[in-house]
Amino acid sequence: MNWIDEAAIRLKKKNQVLFTKDSAYLQDLLTLFQNQKHTAAALWAFDFAAESIAMLEEKYPDEQRPREALAAVKDWAAGKAKMRWAQRKILDCHAFAKEIDQKEDIAVCHAIGQACAVVHTAGHAIGYPIYDLTAIVYRLGIAGCAEAVEQRKQDYIDRLFYWNAHCSDYMGEWAPFMTR
C-alpha cells in the first residue's frame, strides 16, 4: 500500500495522526535517524522546529510556548539547563496543541515537541516527520498533498545529510551527554 492510501485510510478512520513510525513510507528515514550522531540529529531538529515555530507564530503571534521549548532544549543540549526544566517546556508546547482547533496547527505543535525531544534521545527524530507530514496533508488535503509531502521528506533527508557532514560547523556548545 502506498503512503497516500495509508494516510487516506487513517483520515477516513478519523485518526488525528496520519503517519506512524511503522509507516512503510518512513522506514528509510527511520533508518537514517538511527545511524546519525546525536548532535547531527539535534541540529536537524532545531532547524525544522524553528521553521515550524515561525509558521505557527504567523497564526498565533502571542503564543510563546513552542519558541520557549526550543530555547530550553538548546540550553539543555549546551549544558546550560536541566533536563526537567526543558522537558516541562516541551510538555507546555504539547499542551498548546490541546488549546487550539485547527488540525494542521495541532500537528505542527506536536511536531515541534517531538523535534525538541531529540535532545533527550535521537529516537524522537521520527516524531517530527510523523506530525509535520500530517500537518501538510491537513493543509493541502489528501488529493493535493503528494508533491508537497514527497518534497518535504526529501528536505528531511537532505538536511540530515547536511548536518551529519557539517556538525563541526556548529558554533554552539554541547553538553557531554550530547557527544557520547
Tens of pLDDT, residues 48-65:
999 999 999 999 999 999
The residue count for the chain: 180
Q: In whole angstroms, what is the distance from residue 24 CA to residue 5 CA?
A: 12
With 0-12 / 13-18 / 19 or more C-beta atoms within 10 angstroms meaning exposed / middle / buried, residue 175 is middle
Determine the pLDDT at residue 13.
98
> In order along the chain (180 residues), what is the average pLDDT of each group of 10 residues?
96 98 97 96 99 98 99 99 98 98 99 98 97 99 98 99 97 96
In one-letter notation, the amino acid at residue 99 is E
Q: In whole angstroms, what is the distance from residue 131 CA to residue 109 CA?
A: 8
| 74-93: pLDDT as tens digits | 999 999 999 999 999 999 99
> With contact defined as beta carbons under 8 Å apart, do 137 and 6 qualify?
no
Determine the pLDDT at residue 20.
97
- Per DSSP, the three-state class of 23 is coil
| Percent of the chain predicted with pLDDT > 90 | 99
> With contact defined as beta carbons under 8 Å apart, do 156 and 49 qualify?
no
Determine the pLDDT at residue 1.
85
Q: In whole angstroms, what is the distance from residue 107 CA to residue 105 CA?
A: 5
Q: Is 164 left (phi over 0), alpha (psi -120 to 50) or beta?
A: alpha
Determine the pLDDT at residue 67.
99
- Determine the distance from the C-alpha atom of residue 139 to the mean position of all C-alpha atoms in its chain, rounded to a whole number: 17
Q: In whole angstroms, what is the distance from residue 48 CA to residue 111 CA?
A: 9
Q: In whole angstroms, what is the distance from residue 113 CA to residue 168 CA?
A: 25
